Structure 1
Amino acid sequence: MKWIIFFSFVVFLFTACARTDFRRQPAAPVGKRSSYSADIPATQRPYTINGRTYYPLPSSEGYVETGIASWYGGEFHGRKTANGETFNMHEMTAAHKTLPMHTLLLVRNLENSRETVVRVNDRGPFVKARIVDLGLAAASDLGITGAGTARVQITALGEAVTVIRGTNKSERFLPHQDFTAGEFYVQIGSFVNPDNAERLKEKMLAQGRPAVIQQFERDAKVFHRVQVKAGDTLQGAKTMEAILSDSGFPGAFVVAR
């Protein structure tokens, strides 16, 4: 076995007062269920929270992000996570809006330089500017249980997979495979009226920004989504997202295909 059992060295138990925060489990994947291949896990399908649709990334390859981390504990202890596990606030797990489940993240607290490694098993946090929600154990590692939040940098390390042989069960580390991240777009608008979508698309084209319209059906309505091509790397797509956000589209967000 090329990779030894991973993760045992990062699991520590802590006891502390739990801090509650706004959280909500992802709704069932939007759109017609039949439009998704049976090979695509439910946790990799688009989902909508508070009117915003999130598109899980096909891979965490090369993913690095800086923003605010928060944590959740007692109120959610014992509840089901988005991938069907039972949330245990004493395990080294975390919630992220779009990274694939079981992604291992190196989380660095930029305010005190403390680091820890967590595994993504939930979706969230659905609060503006927050990029990751940590369990109590990880939050304790990073020293943020008191303040509740901290500025962090998260770096995807690879994926944890469960290996079962007989009665033995363990988690093993799989590094990223060497493949391109895929095709990225930034969505800047969604319209029921196709004429409005077409006008916005033409406006983007006139500015030299390749744009397309993607149709999406929900609740017997067809939505026309205007998306601007943003290259084949997440970093480039995030840069385009920031540019468009500053250009009058504050709700712009990255879409991975």
Structure 2
Amino acid sequence: MAFSHPLFRPTKPFCIIRRLMILRYHRRGGMTNRLSWAGIPLLFLAACSLPPANVKVPTPPPAPSGVSQTGTASWYGPGFHGRPTASGVIYDQHELTAAHQTLPLGTRVMVTNLDNGKSIEVTINDRGPFAKGRIIDLSYAAGQTLGMIGPGTIPVRIEVIDSGPYKIATIRSSLDYTLQAGSFTDVENAQKLKDQLAKSYPQIPDISIVPLFAKDTNYYRVQLGTFSDRREAERHAQQLARKGFPMIIMEK
């Protein structure tokens, strides 16, 4: 039931207290409407009740995918600051990024320092580390957050959070490489190049046409060989280039 007495109209609490102190009754239309002092606590509570505020609940961070890797992490900074990374992005040691040997560029991972329990989310935008026994190279900012600038290396656990369009079942310890001789929108041109390569370079049996279906155009890429060592891939690429077939080394 709505109250019609003026004291029950919405107002500030201190105004109600003032009215209660100076008003014993209120006359209206020749009738006396006496306010019972027993109702003051109820009146005060009603006046002080405010509508609930709209509280925004923060979105929880995405849960790790369950794909993880454990090993030794290092960090890199001043000597590489301002230089291009493997992704083409200029390295900024103050950003939360990292280098990994096999994870797709752009992958977001959670890195946990197993010595102190500190964690940080970073984006993979570079390749490395190339020192034996290390699994990830963190930016200076990420390393500082994890408390590893002094020690230089720490034991870590890497957990994949988001790998974009790539589906990752396990984290590989090393990459395979292939050589790409050309990319065509016409599959017949791709077939011609494949035949030329097979004739000129028969010692590499794995020559194939790999389609790439883009948004508006289909591409047919001529690729050959699978190499676990990048230096081996570079050696074959140089040999083919001398025969008139320039190559691009691709991660496979």
Question: TM-score range with shorter-chain normalisation?
Answer: 0.3 to 0.5
The alignment's TM-score, normalised by the length of structure 2, stands at 0.43
The alignment's TM-score, normalised by the length of structure 1, stands at 0.42
Max Rg structure:
2
Higher relative contact order (CA 8 A, sep 6+): 1
Relative to its length, the structure with more helix (as a share) is: 2
